[in-house]
């Protein structure tokens, strides 16, 4: 469930809540910039929605602040100001939406797509880092075998493979064993 901070006055907050699909979000409200900053730091929100009706300066500042805390942030603006604020807030990573269900749904969907892409990229990065770590261990073991036992690189690699097969362990574990043994 999404934890959403809505920064708006009370009646406007209720209107904003109705724009979201029911049951998908838990809402917390803040009425001022100070309260919003404190709640942004105190809670783990996945989304912050700021209503421009609080005032242009305060709305802009809290939107930027929330975005800088790595929280997806949507600034709700009147339709006639959408283009201006969309280009202005782009550099801060703040999404801008018109106050309508269709616009907010489109922006929220874009946020969900980007979250999924980031999750997949992080997963891929984790696998690549593990692979790099394993290659580093194997290379270190080969270097030790070359320097301590006088083996060529291909002989050292074959030695590590044989040790892994004979001991029924992974190449990485075999390399670690060789490193512990020879260093």
- pLDDT (tens digit per residue) in 153-175: 999 999 999 999 999 999 999 99
Cα–Cα distance for residue pair 63/72, rounded to 1 Å? 9
Residues 28-72: pLDDT tens digits? Answer: 999 888 999 999 999 999 999 999 988 899 999 999 999 999 999
Which residues, 6+ apart, have CB-to-CB distance to 72 below 8 Å?
46, 47, 48, 95, 111, 115
Q: Which two tokens stand for residue 178?
A: 């060789």
% of the chain surpassing 70 pLDDT: 100
Q: Which residues make beta-bridge pairs with 4?
A: 27, 47
User: What is the structure's pLDDT at 25?
Assistant: 86
User: What is the structure's pLDDT at 69?
Assistant: 93
Q: What is the pTM of this model?
A: 0.74
User: What is the structure's pLDDT at 158?
Assistant: 94
DSSP class of 24:
S
Strand residues in the chain grouped as ranges (E):
2-7, 25-30, 47-51, 72-77, 95-98
């Amino acid at each position: 469930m999404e934890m959403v901070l809505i920064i708006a006055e009370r009646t406007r907050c209720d209107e904003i809540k109705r724009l979201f699909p029911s049951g998908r979000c838990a809402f917390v409200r803040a009425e001022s910039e100070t309260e919003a900053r404190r709640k942004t730091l105190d809670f783990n929100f996945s989304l912050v929605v700021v209503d421009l009706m609080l005032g242009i300066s305060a709305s802009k500042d809290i939107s930027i602040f929330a975005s800088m805390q790595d929280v997806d942030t949507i600034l709700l603006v009147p339709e006639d100001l959408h283009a201006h604020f969309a280009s202005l807030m782009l550099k801060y990573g703040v999404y801008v939406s018109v106050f309508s269900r269709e616009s907010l749904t489109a922006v929220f969907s874009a946020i969900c797509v980007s979250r999924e892409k980031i999750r997949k990229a992080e997963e891929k990065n984790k696998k690549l880092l593990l692979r790099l770590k394993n290659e580093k261990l194997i290379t270190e073991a080969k270097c030790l075998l070359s320097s301590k036992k006088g083996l060529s690189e291909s002989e050292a690699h074959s030695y590590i493979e044989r040790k892994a097969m004979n001991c029924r362990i992974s190449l990485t574990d075999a390399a670690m064993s060789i490193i512990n043994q020879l260093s």
